[in-house]
Amino acid sequence: MTLSQKLATLLVAIIALSASALADDAYQAHCASCHGSAGKGNASLGAPNLTLFSRAYLTRQLQGFKEGWRDTSNPYSGSMSAAIAALDSEVLAEAVATIDKLPDSQKISSGNPTLGNADRGKDLYTAYCGACHGTRAGGNDALGAPNLLGLDANYLARQYHHFSEGRRGFHPDDRYGKQMTRLSRSLKDPALIADVSAYVAQLSQ
């Protein structure tokens, strides 16, 4: 290798290194305080585990928070929207790239999944949810349906209620959110979501 070739190789390595350091920084600087440095989430802040979501889903949700698809009158969606309001799409893309590289964490951080009946939840999940979210709840990007594994039971139930109460999936541009809103009426009693959460929590273990 000539000296100039060596220098060129070195330069490429340095650029790659600083690009990855930058990506780490975007997540650690702007997201880790709530979602945790490993991305596992923080139940007391209502911040979900991010490690099992696909890039497509993460990117779309970030766009949604920016564009007013989520009801910011509740403190959880409000704090998340405020946290990223000043960040441009480049920084957000760097954060997503870092999340993508974090090891998957299936840990249920809290919530009391035993509140629901997992057996009944299994029947409900199979009948009403599995077609989109997958039989093992791992999600299906082609349908826009996210992974549900590893989500805190309270978080899962809260989001479901947001859909069924029209506080998520109401924006005209939120195509996938609107789909889930329609589906959220399939459980006759929204309280049955506790059973579904209990079943999904069981799948996560």
Give the footprint of ligand HEC on this chain (CB under 6 A): 30-31, 33-35, 45-48, 50, 58, 60-62, 70, 76-77, 79-80, 83-84, 87, 92, 95, 128-129, 131-133, 143-146, 151, 156, 159-160, 176-177, 179-180, 183, 186-187, 196
Of 6 and 185, the one with the shorter C-beta distance to ligand HEC is: 185
Q: How far is the CB of 76 from ligand HEC (least distance, A)?
A: 3
Of 9 and 114, the one with the shorter C-beta distance to ligand HEC is: 114
Please give the sequence-ordered ranges of beta strands (E in DSSP) within the chain, or none if there are none.
Answer: none
**Is there a contact between 201 and 108 (Cβ–Cβ < 8 Å)?**
yes
Residue whose entry in the numeric block shows the structure tokens 């059973």: 195
Radius of gyration of the chain (CA): 19
Residue whose entry in the numeric block shows the structure tokens 């650029």: 15
Q: Is 110 left (phi over 0), alpha (psi -120 to 50) or beta?
A: beta
What is the rounded CA–CA span in Å between residue 132 and residue 180? 10
Of 6 and 175, the one with the shorter C-beta distance to ligand HEC is: 175
Of 6 and 136, the one with the shorter C-beta distance to ligand HEC is: 136
Phi, psi of 16 (to 5 degrees): -60, -40
Q: How far is the CB of 53 from ligand HEC (least distance, A)?
A: 6
Q: How far is the CB of 15 from ligand HEC (least distance, A)?
A: 23
Q: How far is the CB of 92 from ligand HEC (least distance, A)?
A: 6
Q: At what angle do helices 193-204 and 118-128 cross, to 10 degrees?
A: 100
What is the rounded CA–CA span in Å between residue 46 and residue 110? 10
Of 8 and 124, the one with the shorter C-beta distance to ligand HEC is: 124
Q: How far is the CB of 45 from ligand HEC (least distance, A)?
A: 6
